[in-house]
Each structure stands twice: as C-alpha cells, then as structure tokens.
A and B are shown apart, each in its own frame.
Chain A
Amino acid sequence: MPRSLPIPLAFIAICLCLAPIAQARIKLITLPPRERVEIQLDNPGATLVEEERIVPLIKGENQVDFSWANTQINPETILFRVIAPAAEQKLDVKVLSVSYPPNEAALVWSVGASDSGSARVRISYILGNLSKNFAYRAVATRDESKLVLAQYMRLQNLANEEYGKTEMWAGFGKEFLKPIGLNETKEMLMAKFANVPIRKTYTASLSEFGYLDQPQQKLRIPMHYVVKNDKASALGTAPLPEGKVRIFIEGTEKEKATTFLGEDWGRFTPIDDEMRLYLGVAQDIVVKRTIDRNDKIRIAGNLFDHAVTIKYEIENFKDSPVTLDIVENLRQIRTEVRGSDNGRDVQWELGKDTTFEGGPDKEKSTFEKQVFHVKLPARGADGKAEKFLHKLQITLKNEW
C-alpha cells in the first residue's frame, strides 16, 4: 500500500526539558516541509537523495525525528548537515548524537543550538528502488551517412516515496528540475546530437558471426552502424552509457514519416571508442570462405609450420557499391587447420600471396585479429554481380 505522505521530519518541542523522547508523554511536533530536493544519479550503483528543510530549533538540546516507513532508505547512510541558519542570524548548530529506536524505520537526532532560530539542514541518504537507465533514439539520414542521436535518461521510482520539484543529475550532461511521483517512470532528454557521421559496415567474420550456410561455407554478413564517440563526430564530451538504441531512417521528401530499422543494445562507449549498432544480416552480399591450402611443413620432430591459404569468393548483389570488412581471428584459423587450440600464442606471418589491397587495417587490427577492407562495386546493369576472388596467406609458425 503506497504511502502518499512524504518522509516526515519532525521537530519535537519537548515540554519536559531534556527528557528522552520515549519518556515524553506530552509532545508538540512541527513538520518542516522539504524546501528543495536533489537526486544525485552519478553513482552507477546507488542513488543519493538530498533534501533541504528549515528546522526550527530552540536554544539548547532539540530532538529531531526522521522516519522512513515503507521505503528503502539505507539508514546507515543518512547524513544530517547544517548548511546555514535560515535567516541572517548567528546560530551555531551541531548534532550531538543520534538514537535509533527498536523495530522502527526511524531515528532521532539530538541537535544542540546556540540560540533559538531556524537552521537550513540538508539530509542525505541512499535510497533503493529509485533507479535510472539510458536509452537512445537514432534517426539516420536517407543516405545512411549521418544520424541524429537523442540520448534519454529514464528514472523509475519504485521507492514508495514521491518527490515534488526535484533536481536530478546523472553525473554528466544537464540537470533536470521535475517532480517524480509514486511508481512513476520519467524519460528525460539528456542531449540531442545532430549530424553525427556514421559508417555503415558489412562484416565477414567467422569467429564472431559464424556461417549463414555452413555446408556451402557461406558466411553470415551482419550490417552495423558505427558511431565514434569523438569531437569529429559531434560527440566526445562524455562516455556514452549503455542503453537500448532504437534506430530509424528518415522518410522520403514526400513521406516524412521515419521507418523503424531495428534496435540494439548500445554498449558503454568511452570517448574515442566506437559504438557498433547491429542492423541485421545483409542477404545481398555473399562471401564464400574456404581453406584453399594447408601445407604442414616439418621443422623437426613434432614441430611444424602451417602454410595456410584462405580463399574468399565475394559477390555484391546490391545496387550500390559497398565496403566489406573481412576479419580473421588467428586462433580460429589455427583451430581450423590443427583441429584444436593448444592455448599457446599464435606466431604467424602474412604471406606475399595475400591479395587484399593495402594490407591489414593497422588501426582496427590487433595481434590476434586482422581486419581487411574490400571495395565492391554495385552489380551490373544486367543485374549480374561480379565475383571477386581474394586470398589470405598466413604461415602459422612453430606449432606442435
């Protein structure tokens, strides 16, 4: 049963001077309302709520009662800080002790005041079930060269507490001043990045994406939009947090409506890194990959080199030219030619019969993963696609 009353903070003016709260039979309670609330969402694992209240105090010792029934406030994290006297007065305020009654979600601050007056206090606590996540909406231009990327923060309030006008901050980007009600989810536009250049990629990678048709050794060719989180791409101000990306494409000039292309999980993307969004499988680009040669060359005893040639037969049935990325994992090749992975590093050399123009992409390749690019023209006017033949020659060295 949700409570509609906010977390109460009670200032208890005790008529029995300095008597402990449980003994006070006659008590008068004032309920200082929240003056200001901030929800700090910058910690990935915890939500910090800070609320400011103006608390009336009398000279001497005061009891200030704070209770949080039916909410998931972590009582160990509650902080009471005096920001300033509420009016222009000299008031020295100090927390003397905190008492925790048994079997109650409550505490009582014993607060000493040098004079009677009001103090502005800030109460902070970690609150459970008030969580955030991120989502993106990407709209590609008709020619798939640019995106408009909108980033949203979704705040879900299952904390059983409502907050009026609340400042919210995710640790980056802009702040929001909005109310958040009980069981409410609020989606807020964090940022909108226009003219973000994208690269549409077609990737042939047996180790990552497997076969489309294994008996025929045809590889699955997924398509991605690749967005680089850097200044040149109109981004690069902060890491992009992980979240679902819904991808649309602009309509024609006549029909303005966008078309939904699909969705993917955008991974956490640091500055200067790439976010790769999966769009689906390209059916019009056919890549047949075969191991053309596997020559075992004995060095001594059980020590061998393997001269391996991988052949690619590539056809583009699209009406537009594309660049195909061919990715080879050296461990994958060794497992194919030797039947197992012995766990040792692969020592290898690229052979001179390799036909990929310009060799491997140095920026994208690592020692165990080599990336090559192949430019494919559109199919001919007669509808026929030209078949391109490429070879990769690799020598695996010192294997046993």
Chain B
Amino acid sequence: MKITLLALLMIAPLAAQARNVDLSTVPKRNTVQLTIYNSEDLTLVRETRAITFKKGANPLQFSWANTLIDPTSVELKFITSAEKLEVLDTTFPHDKPQMLYWNVQSEFDGEATVEITYFTSGISWSADYVAVADKDEKQMGLEGFVRVSNNSGEEYEDAQVRLVVGTINLVEKIAQLAQVPMSAVDKLGEKNRSELRLRVAKDAMAPMAGAALGGGKAMEEKEIIKEGLSEYFIYSIEGTETIRNGWSKRMRSFEAKSVPFKIQYRYRPAEYGDQLVRMYLLTNKKEDKLGTTPLPDGVVRVFRDNGRDGLSFLTQQAIKYVPIGDKIELNLGPDRNVIFELIKLRASRDEIWMHVDGVDVYRRVGQPGVQVEVNSSVAGWDDHELYTQRVRNYTAKPIEVEVRRAFPGHVVFRSQLKATAHDYQTVQFTATVEPGKKSDLLFEILRHEGRNSKQNNVTIEETEVKP
C-alpha cells in the first residue's frame, strides 16, 4: 500500500519538517469505493479511515508516492463529529511532491471517521461479450463481461467497485496532473479544476452506506447491479472486490439465454466493403431476453454450436454503445456458400444531343457548288445499362438478401424489385433466395449525362425489365 495517512504525534509547526526523529500512527482504511469511468482514464476513490483526535491541533500527513493520483483532487471530510473538527490549512511541501499535510483543529478528544476522496488514473474497465449461437442459428446465448484493470500503482483491497457507462468531460488528463507537483499545478493555467471534475462526477458519488464488507459468497456469482443515473448508467459489483496492482479481473455482467436473432445477408459497400456479408441481427429489448441494461462499447466474440459437440468461431467485432431497445448487428463476413455477382447484360446510348459550334463552308476551286459542314460535339446523352444481380444460395436454408447500391448523378432505376430509396443516390432492394437456387434480380439504370443531367437524384420506377 503506497497511499498512507499518518497521524503525526508531534505538535511541531509544519514548516519545521527537517527532523530526524519522528513518530506517527497509521490509521487504516476501513472502506474504499472505486467509481471507474471507461470513457476517460479516471477513477474516483472514496475511502474512510478512523482517526483518534486530541483536542487542539492534529497534523495529518497524506502521501501517495508512485501512484497516479491527481494532487488537486484530494479532499478530506469528516463523517462523524464533523461539527467539532475543522481543517485549518492544507500544505503541499515543496520538497516532497506526492504528499500533503492537513492541519486539523479538534474540539474534543476521541475517534472520528474521515473520508478522503481523490481522482486517480491507471484504473480502467472495459466490456466484452461472448455470443454462442445454437446449431440452427435461431437463438443465441449472450453473455456480457466487465473487466477491471488496475495499473494505478496502488492495491485496493475489498473495494466496492462501481463502473460508469457514459461519456464525461474532462478539461485535463488525470495522468498528466498526477505527474506534476502541487506547486506547479496552478501554472497549468486553469482554476477550479477539481471543482469542475467533481461537479461532473458528483452524480455518480452515491453515499457509501451500501458498501458491504467481506469477500462475497463463496459459491454464488456476484451480481452486477445496473442503474441509470442522469445520462449515465452505473454498474455496481455486488459486495467488494480486491484488485491487486498490475492485475485485472473479469466478471460476468449479464447472461441472456435463448436470445432470438435473425440472419440477413447484406450488400452495403459503404459499411461492409464490396462483398455480401452475413449478419446476425438482434435487439437489446426485454421481449428478446435482453434489455436490462445498455451495452457499453466492447468487443463481441461470436461462436456457433457446430452440431458436432464443439464450437465454430465466426467473428469478433467491436460494437458501440447499444441503448436499451436498439439493434445489435453482428457482421460475420462473407459466406462461401452464397455467391453474389453483378452481371452487366446490356449497355446502350440514346438521346444524344450535339452542341453546334459553328458552320464551315467549303468550295472546291474551279467547280460549281459548295459544301456546308456543321461543326458539333456531343453535349448530352442517356446511358442505359441493364444488370442482373445474381445470388446463388448453396446453403441449406432460404436466405434473405438486402442490397444497397449507390448511383451518383441523375439516374432512373427501373425494375420490378420493389426497390426503395435509402438516400438521394442509394437504392435498396431485398430478395429471398431458396436453398440450392439462384435469383436473377434484374434492373436497368438510365443515367442522364452531360446536358441531359438536370439533377442529382435517383428516381425509382417500378416497371418490367427484360433481359
């Protein structure tokens, strides 16, 4: 333990610290609570210690050598006998950067509980998920995990751990402040830094009354309690945890069994590249056995029961925060049993407009008659392209295919595909392809070019197109 609180037993003026013989007592931590933010390298630590005060001045030394505590954030509060105790002054000695002295004036002799709060960097948490689809690919088991890593330089034993999901604003990085001695902090230019940060974190600073002690129940998995607070979501790990310096610990945050999902094949080059990909689509909602919590950013690893008493690894994918009720879309990549081809069947041009530049008149010497030639160049035309989007399904099940294609320019999209406009230049259509079959999805593109181009949108016309 590198963070220590010493009750100094000499009534010496704080300025006269250059002494060689010293005596102090070390009040231990009673409770500690960590509130860890994953959007920033920030953890709010609240710890309580019991200190015996004597009437008069009581010097307290608080030090945090080789840790990543922001010195501007350290605060001392009195939980008991607050009316009889007062911090007269706080001193940051110039020669010892990671240390401070509180001069506490007490009106009584006896024990009081103090609470020390500070920000530290080096403790982080992240979420990850494991999805295992059943062999028929209709339902999946989805487990969420949180992993807390402690590289703060300090051991936190039996700590109540709370994880904040959501983004907060910081004006300076805690890790930077931790490297700067207190005497230099003001030179950084900003006033009220700690106040700003405290205000941001204030909502998350629930009282510690709920912080139970002990190592938890031996057999039962700890519950992670989720609650919404302001714009944030807080995960509180049941009981207390010891996360040693340098270690990380991963716990299950939720487990959902038999979550229904849908399979869709998608061609969306802007999102998934120039390939048809297979998707698992599910929704973070109660009806689908989820929806108890928003899902924080994290990596999803997707497996499937391969029907042979083992798993197949399908993909791993980073997902962004998924609010309750929102969709979860897992891209499994291309399927080698579904062949997706765009074949051009025909191309032609018409509605060609010439721009007349002028007229040349020729007359052959010694001959009657003249020849008139009109000079002109192509100024506008219509391009017609007939395509088939061919999908061959060699899987054992019917598949649903959704295609989005962008056609920039002044374009008319003609087909019987019941296409819709995804945006001003992107057409979307869907089809179902039976197992072992191929589908030819025919469409014609009419592109107005040059002076024939009057706008920049795709118009969809539902009409028969023949190959």
Contacts and interface: CB of A to CB of B under 8 A. Distances in A.
Interface stretch (B5-13, B41-49, B279-287, B309-317): B309-317
B149 to A, nearest CB: 8
B184 interface: no
B346 A367 contact: yes
A328 interface: no
A4 interface: no
B79 interface: no
Contact of B313 (A43, A96, A301, A398): A43
Given A100-B248, A367-B347, A112 B301 contact: no
Given A60-B218, A302-B377, A368 B394 contact: no
Interface centre among B130, B310, B345, B357 (most CB of A within 10 A): B310
A100 B247 contact: yes
B52 interface: no
A400 B249 contact: no
B369 to A, nearest CB: 20
A50 interface: yes
A191 to B, nearest CB: 16
Interface centre among A60, A94, A300 (most CB of B within 10 A): A300
Interface string A166-208: 0001010001000000000000000000000000000000000
Contacts of B349: 344-345, 347, 397-398
Contacts of B346: 367
B198 interface: no
A42 B339 CA distance: 18
Given A40-B310, A270-B339, A301-B375, A99 B247 contact: yes
A195 B128 CA distance: 51
Contact of B344 (A101, A268, A368): A368
A367 B388 CA distance: 12
B310 A271 contact: no
A321 interface: no
Interface string B325-357: 000000000001101000111111100101111
Contact of A18 (B215, B248, B336, B352): B215
B313 A126 contact: yes
A76 B128 contact: yes
Interface string A101-124: 111000000001110000000001
A175 to B, nearest CB: 8
B394 A301 contact: no
Interface string B372-388: 00111110010101000
B220 A112 contact: yes
B268 interface: no
Contact of A48 (B246, B312, B339): B312
A12 interface: no
Contacts of A46: 313
B327 to A, nearest CB: 24
B219 interface: yes
Interface in B115-167: 128, 130, 149
A36 to B, nearest CB: 9
B226 interface: no
Contacts, number: 146
Interface in A260-281: 268, 270-273
Contacts of B222: 96-97
A216 B394 CA distance: 47
A272 B246 contact: no
Interface in A199-249: 239
A126 B311 CA distance: 11
Contact of A40 (B221, B250, B306, B348): B306
A162 interface: no
Contacts of A40: 306, 310-313
Contacts of A99: 247-250
A169 B308 contact: yes
Contacts of A113: 219
A175 B309 CA distance: 13
A310 to B, nearest CB: 20
A389 interface: no
A60 B385 contact: no
A77 interface: yes
Contacts of A100: 149, 247-250
B130 A347 contact: no
A281 B126 CA distance: 60
B242 A20 contact: yes
Contacts of A86: none
Interface string B276-320: 000000000000000000000001010100101011111010000
A345 B247 contact: no
Contact of B249 (A97, A124, A239): A97
Nearest to A241: B336
Given A22-B244, A301-B354, A301-B375, A344 B383 contact: yes
B344 A367 contact: yes
A347 B394 CA distance: 35
A290 to B, nearest CB: 27
A22 B242 CA distance: 12
Contact of B376 (A77, A175, A300, A344): A300
Nearest to B386: A367
A38 interface: yes
A98 interface: yes
A50 B377 contact: no
B248 A367 contact: no
Contact of A103 (B246, B301, B337): B246
B29 interface: no
A301 B264 CA distance: 51
Contacts of A79: 130, 303, 311
B311 A48 contact: yes
B251 interface: yes
B219 to A, nearest CB: 4
Interface in A35-75: 38, 40, 42-44, 46, 48, 50, 59-61
A29 interface: no
A94 B221 contact: yes
A270 B377 contact: no
A114 B218 CA distance: 10
B392 interface: yes
B247 A102 contact: yes
A400 B355 CA distance: 13
A22 B245 CA distance: 12
A134 to B, nearest CB: 13
Given A40-B310, A367-B345, A98 B250 contact: yes
A366 B337 CA distance: 23
A300 B221 contact: no
Given A98-B249, A112-B221, A367-B346, A301 B376 contact: yes
B375 A101 contact: no
A249 to B, nearest CB: 31
A150 interface: no
B318 to A, nearest CB: 12
8 contacts: A38-B310, A98-B249, A99-B249, A124-B311, A171-B312, A271-B337, A301-B354, A345-B349
Q: Across the A-B interface, give the 6 residue pairs with the lowest CB-CB distance, nearest first.
A: A102-B246, A301-B376, A345-B347, A112-B219, A48-B313, A60-B218
Given A61-B218, A77-B301, 7 more contacts: A50-B311, A99-B249, A239-B336, A272-B392, A300-B376, A302-B378, A368-B344
Interface of A: 18, 20, 22, 38, 40, 42-44, 46, 48, 50, 59-61, 76-77, 79, 94-103, 112-114, 124, 126, 169, 171, 175, 239, 268, 270-273, 300-303, 344-347, 366-368, 397-398, 400
